[in-house]
Amino acid sequence: MASETDAGPWVRALRASHDRLSGIVGTLDAEGLRQQSYDSQWSIAQVLSHLGSGAEIFLLNLEAGLTGGDPPGQETFVRIWDTWNARSPEEQASQSVAVNEAMVARVESLTPEQLAAFRVAMFGMNLDITGVLRMRLSEHAVHTWDVAVAVDPAARVSADAVGLLIDGVPPMIGWMSKKAADPAVIAVTTTDPARTFTLDTGGVTLTPGQAETPASLRLTAEELLRLVYGRLDESATVSASKVSLADLRAVFPGF
């Protein structure tokens, strides 16, 4: 597992995620851009638009952290979103690839001293560079899967991203879930990489390590990540005892 203070693995994973998505985009024609992504509300082009606007906002936050300036506010977000929403699917695709390339290249250009000194106030938190990169990688890698799986049903979230993101899932659980109608405490075991957690669907909390409980869930770390993000279908083959995948999907409806 990478050190929380080592930005290198995060930068490399973000580069790999961008290269993966841009490679997929390069294979899509006009019809392909307009097909539905995994997200039932968004076409592939709309996912790319979301990632493009996000890259613009990320760059503004990055510069704020590097210079000690103020991060962008809601007014800036709305202006950027409106600009991207007004573009054609073809423009959304091409400009998303371009701005995400610029974003990754900017991060890659930072010196070790800049990376170490970086701090920015975001969402009520004072984040270092790995905190910001974690946010961006989680968004980019999962939305890349939203596009990839529309083209290839066997697609999975990239293993390098999963390896970095899985240990950051517990703190996110509270705002990615809702309380179960019939709460349970579940021992969760993952592979690739191997982790153990205790999931309480009443709280909702995910705690590293396992408690003694009759309910259990065994799955890959990639499947756990997709479950928490509301992207694990009922057709998934996971090993569960005294809890159903349907129950768990209700706790994590996605966004």
- Tell whether 75 and 200 lie within a shared domain: no
Pairing state between β 205-208 and 215-220: unpaired
Provide the pLDDT for residue 77: 97
- Tell whether 151 and 172 lie within a shared domain: no
Whether 162 is covered by a domain: the verdict is no
Residue that is last in its domain, among 99, 132, 155: 155
- Tell whether 101 and 219 lie within a shared domain: no
Helix (H, G, I), strand (E, B) or coil at 224: helix
Q: Please provide the size of the chain in residues.
A: 255
Pick 96 or 234 by higher pLDDT. 96
CA separation for the pair 199, 220 (Å, rounded): 15
Give the tokens for residue 97. Answer: 């690839």
pTM of the complete model: 0.94
Q: Residue 46 gets which letter from DSSP?
A: H
Residue 160, C-beta contacts closer than 8 angstroms, at least 6 positions apart: 9, 12, 13, 16
- Tell whether 148 and 22 lie within a shared domain: yes
Whether 12 is covered by a domain: the verdict is yes
> Which of 171, 191, 182 is closest to 246 using CA atoms?
182
- Tell whether 196 and 240 lie within a shared domain: yes
Residue that is last in its domain, among 124, 155, 186: 155
Helix (H, G, I), strand (E, B) or coil at 174: helix
Torsions phi, psi for 5 (to 5 deg): -95, 0
**Window from 1-5, 9-13, 152-156, 205-209 with minimum mean pLDDT:** 1-5
CA separation for the pair 215, 241 (Å, rounded): 5
Domain encompassing residue 47: 8-155
What average pLDDT is seen over the chain? 94
Provide the pLDDT for residue 234: 81
Half-sphere exposure of 73 (CA within 13 A, CB side): 3
Q: Tens digit of pLDDT for each residue in 89-115?
A: 999 999 999 999 999 999 999 999 999
Provide the pLDDT for residue 235: 78
- Tell whether 213 and 150 lie within a shared domain: no
Give the tokens for residue 50. Answer: 């979301």
Residue that is last in its domain, among 95, 128, 155: 155
Q: What share of the chain in percent tops pLDDT 90?
A: 89
Q: Tens digit of pLDDT for each residue in 120-169?
A: 998 888 999 999 999 999 999 999 999 999 999 999 999 999 999 999 99
Pick 94 or 175 by higher pLDDT. 94
Q: State the CATH number of the domain containing residue 219.
A: 3.30.1050.10
Whether 203 is covered by a domain: the verdict is yes
- Tell whether 178 and 237 lie within a shared domain: yes
- Tell whether 234 and 128 lie within a shared domain: no
Residue 82, C-beta contacts closer than 8 angstroms, at least 6 positions apart: none
Q: Tens digit of pLDDT for each residue in 8-39?
A: 999 999 999 999 999 999 999 999 999 999 99
pLDDT band per the 50, 70, 90 thresholds, residue 226: very high
Provide the pLDDT for residue 2: 37
- Tell whether 40 and 124 lie within a shared domain: yes
Whether 1 is covered by a domain: the verdict is no
Domains in the chain: how many in total? 2
Q: Tens digit of pLDDT for each residue in 38-66?
A: 998 999 999 999 999 999 999 999 999 99
Q: What share of the chain in percent tops pLDDT 70?
A: 98
Whether 144 is covered by a domain: the verdict is yes
Provide the pLDDT for residue 5: 60
What Å distances lie between residue 28 and 22, 38, 157, CA to CA? 10, 16, 20
Whether 147 is covered by a domain: the verdict is yes
Whether 113 is covered by a domain: the verdict is yes
Summarize the confidence of residues 177-181 as an average pLDDT.
93
Residue type, 216: S
- Tell whether 125 and 12 lie within a shared domain: yes
- Tell whether 228 and 140 lie within a shared domain: no
- Tell whether 72 and 137 lie within a shared domain: yes
Whether 163 is covered by a domain: the verdict is no
CA separation for the pair 159, 12 (Å, rounded): 12
